[in-house]
């Protein structure tokens, strides 16, 4: 049965937007699944039994794959889902899209390398802490290859297309202290946690999966500290007070604020975080923080994230860290 024409921000519209702006050119299967969901009343009805934050495409598709394997096509996907909707609902209620894509470090390093060294990092929405380890990965920017200083270490290399004007680093940032904050921290050494993170990688992205596994090995060896807590609670100020005084404190996040449903809570976080640290790095979809996006000038390509430092836009980035396009005339505000 075909669903009615989508209205703005309806579930069908959100799935079509995912197909057009995120899955197209990256995952033919997920694009097909998203378009199928958008016109299927039965699946839309299933999704409406879940809270809005749990209705997202990545979570639905990963839940089905974690239970039944990767479907062959939309018909197979719908058959698997409706054969046991209770099991799928339970996974979606329990889990979240905590990919915390480590390749996003490729767009963070050009900013981190410009800040006064050494650095103390706090990541909110840290998942298993993979993005807390940017100095333990390699980066291929096309015109420049950056590798960690540790000799003999096994590390993934993330490819990132850098636009003209991007200030590519010549050396890794010096990080002397790091900690993460997450509502439901994951452990890279836990096979179940690692398997869920792997399932969140889209089916055709075998290279991305291999790099994620490499990052999980790094995290399992380095054991970054990730604590349970909400970014709007007292947990963040407490961690900021704990940071070493002789290091530059940086609070950062990537693809996290979209899960803070109330725009007022996002605004309160943004207003408060700048009083806690000298540098706040935000890498999010532009609609999440519209006041920052308004200062970015010409919009980036559809589906791009906006990277900002202390609410000043500096670059448009690929959501999975595959590209960075520096905004003309932008510079990292140095305190």
102-326 fold: Rossmann fold (3.40.50)
With bands split at pLDDT 50, 70 and 90, how would you rate the model's confidence at 146? Answer: very high
- Whether the CB-CB separation of 64 and 77 falls below 8 Å is answered with yes
Q: Which residue has the higher pLDDT, 71 or 153?
A: 71
What is the per-residue pLDDT across 255-292, written as a single tens digit (0 to 9) for each? 998 888 788 888 889 999 999 999 999 999 999 999 99
Element (H, E) at 41: helix 41-47
Say yes or no to pLDDT of 172 above 80: yes
Residue 1: pLDDT over 50: no
pLDDT at 8: 45
Structural domain spans, the chain: 11-94, 102-326
What DSSP designation does 63 have?
H
pLDDT tens across 99-139, in order?
679 999 999 999 999 999 999 999 999 999 999 999 999 99
38 pLDDT above the threshold of 70: yes
CB atoms within 10 A of CB 198: 16
pLDDT at 35: 98
pLDDT at 214 exceeding the cut of 70: yes
> Average pLDDT of the chain?
92
Distance CA(176)–CA(174), nearest Å, equals 6
SS3 307: strand
Q: Determine contact, residues 229/125, Cβ cutoff 8 Å.
A: no
Q: What does the pLDDT average to over 236-247?
A: 96
């Amino acid at each position: 049965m075909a669903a009615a024409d989508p209205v703005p921000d309806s579930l069908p519209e959100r799935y079509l937007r995912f197909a057009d702006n995120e899955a197209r050119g990256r995952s033919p299967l997920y694009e097909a699944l998203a378009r199928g969901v958008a016109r299927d009343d039965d699946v839309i009805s299933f999704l409406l039994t879940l809270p809005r934050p749990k209705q997202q495409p990545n979570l639905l598709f990963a839940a089905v794959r974690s239970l039944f394997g990767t479907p062959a096509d939309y018909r197979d996907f719908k058959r698997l889902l409706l054969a046991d909707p209770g099991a799928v609902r339970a996974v979606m209620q329990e889990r979240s899209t905590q990919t915390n894509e480590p390749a996003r470090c490729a767009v963070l390093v050009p900013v981190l390398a410009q800040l006064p060294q050494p650095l103390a990092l706090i990541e909110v929405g840290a998942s298993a802490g993979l993005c807390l380890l940017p100095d333990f990965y390699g980066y291929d920017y096309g015109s420049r290859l950056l590798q960690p200083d540790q000799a003999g270490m096994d590390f993934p290399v993330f490819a990132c297309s850098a636009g003209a004007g991007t200030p590519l680093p010549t050396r890794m940032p010096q990080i002397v202290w790091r900690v993460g904050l997450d509502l439901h921290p994951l452990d890279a050494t836990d096979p179940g946690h690692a398997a869920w993170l792997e399932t969140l990688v889209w089916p055709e992205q075998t290279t991305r999966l291999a790099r994620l596994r490499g990052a999980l090995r790094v995290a399992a060896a380095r054991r970054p500290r990730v604590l349970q807590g909400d970014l709007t609670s007292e947990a963040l100020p407490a961690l900021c007070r704990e940071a070493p005084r002789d290091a530059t404190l940086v609070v950062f996040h990537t693809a996290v604020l979209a899960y803070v449903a109330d725009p007022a809570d996002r605004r309160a976080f943004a207003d408060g975080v700048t009083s806690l640290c000298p540098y706040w790095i935000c890498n999010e979809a532009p609609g999440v923080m519209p006041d920052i996006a308004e200062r970015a000038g010409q919009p980036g390509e559809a589906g791009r994230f906006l990277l900002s430092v202390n609410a000043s836009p500096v670059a448009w980035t690929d959501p999975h860290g595959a590209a960075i396009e520096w905004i003309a005339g932008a510079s990292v505000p140095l305190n």
